[in-house]
Chains A and B, each alone.
Chain A
Amino acid sequence: MTELLTNVGYGSWVLDALLVVPLVGALAVLSRPAHQAKQVALIAAVVEFLISVPLWWAFEIGTATMQFQHAYPWIPGWGIYYVVGVDGISLFMVLLTTFTMPLAVLGSWNYIKDKLRPYYALLLLLTTGMLGVFVALDLFMFYVFWEIMLIPMYFIIGVWGGPRRLYAAIKFFIYTFVGSLLMLVAILAMYYMVGQTTGVYSFAYQHILENIGAVGPWGFWLFGAFALAFAIKVPMFPFHTWLPDAHVEAPTAGSVILAGILLKMGTYGFLRFALPFFPTIALHPTVVTIVVGLAIVGIVYGALVAMVQPDFKKLVAYSSVSHLGFVMLGIWALTIQSVEGAIIIMINHGISTGALFFLAGMLSERRHTREIAAFGGIAKVVPAFACVLTIVSLSSIGLPGTNGFIGEFLVLVGSFGPYPWATAIAATGVIFAAAYLLWALQRIIYNKFDKPENENLPDLSGRELLVLAPLLACILWIGLYPKPFLDRIEASAEELITTVQEQEVSLAAAHGSEEQVP
């Protein structure tokens, strides 16, 4: 396999292809008649996924260096390059994206009824935007993609969303945009400061990382700008209120992508930029207290608020706040188990919460309501749906044997050393998670069957099973045999930890800052 891939030069073109194919697909969608839009989009998304699959084997295990990396000049005069590459942190974000998109297209099949061509074109444009964020190794390029992905999402919510779609779309847009504006300022500031010190003006990730000492006392503000942009995206408590609105109003595929991929950009940003760039600030006791504190507040608060939601999609949205809290805790604990666990949760959340949103969408397609109270006892009429919903819920509450357990367990076991009390509080999240999901499950599929409207609910169709089956397979695969995933993450996670720790030591020494690390 590897030999074949080398022969076709797979590594040298795969990332470019992944960025270009969706764009070509989008153009194809626009150039064909509307009734073919979804077929063309599906083909493009599947091709995209197939191109990405060999990454699994081509990716070299045991090294933390950026792989498949290459650069083209973009605006070389300003030090802007097109630089792409993946490591163990971004590999799975890329695969998660390419894996989710065909399912998102299939999941939109009957849900989206009008303006088909722009919808599917935007979906494909979004794919490019998201992948660009994960593979960009030039800060300017990263920022461009970060903004590119915002626009299709804005339209997907605003045009194809629910009744309050405009409010939700604008809220989503402004909220994210405020954060990213600050990030742009920070990127520009770093560009100038590093340029002035080194004489080389470049947005290259590696260049800025190596000379980050140049920002001197400005580090705090720069970190703050990055952290705010990412914290909104995660979203961390208390920057999360755009999420329930956006999720609820977005069409099914929008919610799935939002939860499955967009939120991960926040945590990815912390892993890739905020932490390695500003280790002294990120690990400053005050910052640690705030971040870890907000993470555990998010875990417990998100779960408790999720519990009392009457709207199933909102419930899942708040549960995301809780899950992402685990990721933040794991990242900040900065042990090998906790960081790998955090990345596993990022993958898991895409799978399990994605599946929950698909299931929620299937319910509302049938009954045109998302109210939990509109159901009850429907396991009787839709047994397959009930079975899948149960399995996905169990994965979401971290039942051992499913993917959810691996991530939560690794994060908690790794965070317990540095932050025993915070971890103990975080671990109560497993109780609350069981409470909110099982209660919802009971009110949807169990209890008295007393709503005549549910009498003729059709069970899962073949197409719907096709959407859910790959997600179920991943739930069990990661739950039972996560080793191939962990193997691919390990070197990069280790590298991140040592980089941050070394940087912290050297920068602390260089600036004589007050928090000397022994």
Chain B
Amino acid sequence: MPASVGWVWLVVVLPFAGFLANGLISFFWPKAKRAVSAIGVGVLVAAFAVAVSVVNGLSSDLHGAPYVLTYWSWMPVGELEIAVALQVDQLSAVMMMIVTGISALIHIFSVGYMRDDPGYPRYFSYLNLFVFFMLVLVLGANFPVMFVGWEGVGLCSYLLIGFWYLDKSNADAGKKAFIMNRIGDFGFLIAMFLIFQATGSLSFAEVFEGAPSTFTINGGTVTLITLALFLGCTGKSAQIPLFTWLPDAMAGPTPVSALIHAATMVTAGVYLIARANVLFAMAPISSVVVATVGVVTALFAATIALKQWDIKKVLAYSTVSQLGYMFLGVGVGAYAGGIFHLATHAFFKALLFLGSGSVIFALHRAYHHTGSHEDAQDMRNMGGLRQYMPWTATLMWIATLAIAGIPGFSGFFSKDGILAATFARGHDHPVFYFLWILGAAAALLTAFYMTRLMLYTFHGRNRSGKDEAKHLLEAPWVMTAPLLVLALGSIFAGVVNLPHVLPGAGWLEHLFEPVTELSHRYLPEIHLSVTTEWVLIGVATVIAVAGISAAAVTLKPESLKAAREAPEESGLQRVLLRKWYVDEIYDALFVRPTVWISRNVLWRFMDVGVIDGALVNGSAWSARAVGFIGSAVQTGRLAWYLLVFVIGTLVLLRAVM
């Protein structure tokens, strides 16, 4: 094992140390912001540096991977042997780089964004803790250790969504996120139980290597395991039916939305499937379910994004939609393709969120100056911001072109890769052609709603208000510099996995071959002719250009009214704005009935009425009626107790004599 790989524990421990230090500061020296910034950012930069050296070491000896580093025995019970262990291989290394790299940038951004917040130390301690758990998630060498990270990031998400906890809606959003994630985690748990029953182990190496001999292709067990795992994914990665928490999660500070609810945590489900690729490859039915749920979510969320006014809500639904693409990718067996889109998305979506953060920051500051209480996140209150914040506008346009899929930008390659892989599977079964059409339609909507966001925010005339406009300023450099780095990634990250028709193609796919090796046996070879591939690239380009142009032509930012003057939506517009009423439906179907039944049937009727009232106290009453217990409250019963005790002793005595 290369020496530097042995240092991987330090990558994990550094953010944890940051959490402890900042947590202590938040209690004892809440004003020590400089120290907090230095520690909070410092540990992440250091972790990134160590991660780079680990990856360096790994690349010097790739054949030895996966390297499993065992630290201590965690739950050794009978044949169950769970160790606290980390696994360094191609997949976890890529994830580790994304997580530490993007986190470091977003921590830097936060120094500017959160500088006036009284909860500054608490914020950084939570953010550090999040990175710690996220690294445990991607580096864990077995399912339970991964689950520690899996639920741990959920905890941090909960804490950060509800960061401004005095507002009930924020606390509600945090709680909703946690509980919906727990529904998914139930699936993860069931999957672990099934895996342990089938294989007697929960460590990745043993389970996956043993899978071909343990499971039968398309067998009931492996199908059930993968479906249960996927239930976990729908919770963590906000897919149908458990997606409704993510838009609400925008209640948290914007850098949190960028880091947790776009770039890293929500992609954990995609990582999980890529990690367990052999199981999914052996369960074609589950894989089709994954792909279908993914692409339907992609399309469904994109329709909602079309009509949102809140800039963060647009990006939230866009994230749900893009995650759907990733699931489409891993569902059709393009595991490297799914991770590739995960990586490019991490760049451009983090950029979009942080950019929106700069916009909100600017608007917020302007409204603060004038004492106005307008909504700083409503795009109807923006407009024409290009002239005030040229850097932010330019950088966000780069990300928009990337997510829309304009050739040359990273998002184009990753999205095209997934769609091409879907199309190729059409050879096996025509249903994949249908999925491809849905995916292409979602791509069209993506280009449209993103252009809409950019037009309404940065173009046309300014609608913030006359006095406010004077205070609109570009964000400070500590916030813009991270955006620059992310923009570079949004443009160039595509080179790591170019399409097959280009030179130097498929580097990431090759890199991941050892990880996905076993699943190749069960997946059909994907072969697209050069012509087909060029045609698909052409179609993708046309879709992106069409989406952008359609938005540019049909939308009139000039005629948009500020939020306070805007008319109510009606018809389909309203349905989309209200997100197809999914929240209301869930509330009426699940939440309220559960609470009502628990309160009125289980508690008041069953517990208080039947069990305690009729049975327990009822029997006491009837006993009292026959004068058994007697009416004296206290002494009577004690006497009775003693009496029985004596009788018992007498019985005993008699028998002995």
Contacts and interface: CB of A to CB of B under 8 A. Distances in A.
A439 B591 CA distance: 13
A430 B185 contact: yes
A514 B563 CA distance: 77
B634 interface: yes
Interface stretch (A10-18, A367-375, A481-489): A481-489
Contact of B144 (A170, A175, A400): A400
Interface string A400-430: 1100001001101110110010011001101
A160 B171 CA distance: 37
A481 B72 contact: yes
A59 interface: no
Interface in B501-557: none
A101 interface: no
Contacts of B186: 427-428, 430-431
B620 interface: yes
Interface string A162-189: 0000100011011101000100100010
Contacts of A445: 165
How big is chain A's contact interface, by range? 35 or more
Contacts of A277: none
Interface in A236-250: 238, 241-242
Contacts of B572: none
A138 interface: no
Contacts of A192: 655
A446 B166 contact: yes
B178 interface: yes
B470 to A, nearest CB: 34
B155 A481 contact: no
B74 A482 contact: yes
A449 B166 contact: yes
Contacts of B158: 438
Contacts of A447: 165-166, 168, 171
Interface string A468-487: 00000000000011110010
Nearest to B181: A434
Interface stretch (B1-9, B41-49, B374-382, B593-601): B593-601
A448 B634 contact: no
A442 B193 contact: no
B152 A401 contact: yes
Given A77-B656, A337-B77, A416 B193 contact: yes
A122 to B, nearest CB: 15
Contacts of B166: 377, 380, 446-449
Contacts of B76: 483, 486
Interface in B424-466: none
Interface stretch (B316-324, B397-405, B474-482, B644-652): B644-652
A442 B177 CA distance: 13
B190 A424 contact: yes
B77 A308 contact: no
Interface string B156-174: 0010001001111001101
Interface string B184-196: 0110011011101
Contacts of B616: 171, 175, 241-242
B583 interface: no
B603 interface: yes
Contacts of A401: 148, 152
Nearest to A399: B151
27 contacts: A77-B656, A147-B645, A158-B634, A166-B634, A170-B637, A171-B616, A175-B616, A188-B648, A304-B602, A305-B598, A377-B166, A399-B152, A400-B147, A400-B150, A400-B152, A413-B80, A427-B189, A431-B179, A431-B182, A431-B183, A438-B158, A442-B172, A446-B166, A448-B166, A483-B72, A483-B76, A486-B76
Given A188-B652, A309-B603, A377-B165, 16 more contacts: A177-B641, A181-B644, A304-B594, A307-B595, A307-B598, A377-B166, A379-B165, A380-B166, A399-B151, A400-B152, A406-B75, A410-B77, A424-B190, A483-B73, A483-B76, A486-B76
Closest 8 CB pairs of A and B: A336-B78, A416-B193, A446-B171, A308-B599, A304-B598, A446-B165, A241-B612, A400-B148
